[in-house]
Amino acid sequence: MQSRARRKPTSIALGVEMVKELKAIAQERGIPYQVLMRLLIADGIRRMVWSPSHGDTD
């Protein structure tokens, strides 16, 4: 994960229910929901990059 100094603020529109779920999960884990979102995005990117189909043009 990148250092704090290299983060760029961004915004994303999420459904109300999704935000509620994110906040509930984050609370269970004892972390802010924005941190949870960053972790989930980073995990998704890693999975896409390392998936066997990454780079396929079909």
Q: Which residue segment(s) compose the domain that 44 sits in?
A: 16-50
* 57 assigned to some structural domain: no
The answer to whether 1 touches 42, Cβ cutoff 8 Å, is yes
Question: What pLDDT, in 10s, does the model give residues 8-18?
Answer: 999 999 999 99
* Residue 51 confidence (pLDDT): 79
Name the pTM for this structure: 0.73
* 58 assigned to some structural domain: no
- Closest by Cα among 40, 31, 51 to 12: 40
Query: Which residue bears the tokens 């941190």?
Result: 35
* 22 assigned to some structural domain: yes
Mean pLDDT, all residues of the chain? 88
Count how many domains the chain has: 1
* 56 assigned to some structural domain: no
